[in-house]
Structure 1
Amino acid sequence: MLPDRPAPDFTLKSFFNGGDTEDFTLSSVKGNWILLLFYPVDFGYVTPTEFYEINKLMSKFKEANCSIIAISTETIDSQRSWWSAPRTEAGLESMDNLRFVSDRQGLVAASYGVYKANENVAFRATFLLDPDMNVVSIEKCDIPVGLNIGEQLRQVQAALEMEKNPGAGIPADWHPGDEINPDPFIPEPNRVIGDQSEDLKHTFDHTMYQSQASNYSTRSMNKSKSMSGSTGQSQASSYYNKSLKRTISS
């Protein structure tokens, strides 16, 4: 799964705002920005903190026309119990504008590359999708590490800014109201600035030498097939090691 690639579509059991359980298809919300949020378990210690942050920022996600879809391998009944439980029990107190999706077999999590099969849970992850359901950004974390929800919102806002300014570059730590670079952010082919030409030449020469050394090493190893006994193998191995040393030292 990479940015600028189509997100896998799916249909799973789901509920929205505590409503009835229904089949939900991801492409049914195509046309909106979508934040897919994979999480491992209901309740717990880390997971509720992520959703409490979502709750704080929900109005801004709505302003950005961004739907939030929470996916886990938990059952719908478990998700519903967690959604309605009070915060004193690490619950979500029936927070609004949040869709839960149950991926019991982990097939969707696996298709997005975030399935931990030995525990049948999803790793923590977010996938920001544009209105055409192409991936804009990805964040994946190990289970004990909580996600930065504020950063997910910032990326949505940055993507919207790019829509208004095609080809513009959005700098690090940009927030709405900050200046942007209106120039194209992708350098022209073969464009060299200042002393970079010598650096690029060195990089090119170094890469060429690595390729040559690798080819030489391969030929040396192939040569060992025609040699007999351990002496021949030792000589071929020596050629290989010398080639690697020359590559590293360059």
Structure 2
Amino acid sequence: MSIIGTEVQPFKAQAFKNGEFIEVSEESFKGQWSVLCFYPADFTFVCPTELEDLQNEYATLKELGVEVYSASTDTHFTHKGWHDSSETIGKITYAMIGDPSQTLTRNFDVLDEESGLADRGTFIIDPDGVVQAAEINAGGIGRDASTLVNKIKAAQYVRNNPGEVCPAKWEEGGETLKPSLDLVGKI
């Protein structure tokens, strides 16, 4: 079953954010757009490049009304240790969720059962707590946060403009489509 169009399932977890431990739950994803970015593990190789790239887009995402969360099956204590010891991860100001119970990772169906680690999964969640987009990559394939920004803009546009959809390579201000019988076979 696809996770698209489903509400975030109940969970409670501890996260590290801006020098503090905070609690995060499904309620944290309501009231604003959210991005949840799973990664395999702290103190690894591709993961810090992705998390830094996400931090580099964080101000733009905040301007769009989006809160960002990263998550792995490490603990929130491990996230703090990584944050304190890595120049790259030390730049991160969004919440880093610890999921050692694997509840959140299982809820989003990104748990690699054999390793006990999360796959590289990115989810866009609307203000109602409903998943609007999902992307899952193999462990060796890093993600590009700039494409995430465009996906969020499209998701926000579609939500705010019922009856319109965004075609491939749509960019803010570009033409949209209004699906109708008149368009069938003409695109």
2:52 alignment partner AA: Y
> In 2, Cα distance between the equivalents of 1:16 and 1:26?
17
Q: Secondary structure at the match of 1:93?
A: helix
Alignment of 1:14-33 (within 5 A): 14-19=15-20, 21-33=21-33
Identity percentage of aligned residues: 26
Q: Secondary structure at the match of 1:118?
A: coil
Alignment of 1:51-62 (within 5 A): 51-62=51-62
Q: Compute the displacement of 1:112 (Å).
A: 1.2
Rg (Cα) greater in structure:
1
Label 1:170 to 1:83 Cα distance change in 2 as closer, same or farther (>3 A). Answer: same
Q: Secondary structure at the match of 2:90?
A: coil
Q: Under a length normalisation based on structure 2, what TM-score does the superposition of the two structures give? A: 0.89
For the pair 1:50 / 2:50, whether they are aligned, the reply is: yes
Give the structure 1 partner of residue 8 of structure 2: 7
> In 1, Cα distance between the equivalents of 2:133 and 2:13?
23
Alignment of 1:115-126 (within 5 A): 115-126=111-122
Q: Secondary structure at the match of 1:143?
A: coil
Asked if structure 1 preserves the Cα contact closer than 8 Å seen for 2:16 and 2:79, the reply is no
Q: Under a length normalisation based on structure 1, what TM-score does the superposition of the two structures give? A: 0.68
Structure 1, unmatched stretches of 5+, are 195-250
2:64 alignment partner AA: A
Asked if structure 2 preserves the Cα contact closer than 8 Å seen for 1:18 and 1:94, the reply is no
> In 2, Cα distance between the equivalents of 1:46 and 1:78?
17
Moved over 6 A (4+): none
Q: Compute the displacement of 1:193 (Å).
A: 4.4
Q: Compute the displacement of 1:163 (Å).
A: 2.9
1:110 alignment partner AA: R
Higher share in helix: 1
Give the structure 2 partner of residue 92 of structure 1: 89
How many aligned residue pairs are there? 185
| Superposition RMSD in Å | 2.0
Asked if structure 2 preserves the Cα contact closer than 8 Å seen for 1:35 and 1:126, the reply is yes
Label 1:193 to 1:93 Cα distance change in 2 as closer, same or farther (>3 A). Answer: closer
Q: Compute the displacement of 1:65 (Å).
A: 0.7
Higher share in strand: 2
Q: Which has the higher contact order (CA 8 A, sep 6+)?
A: 2
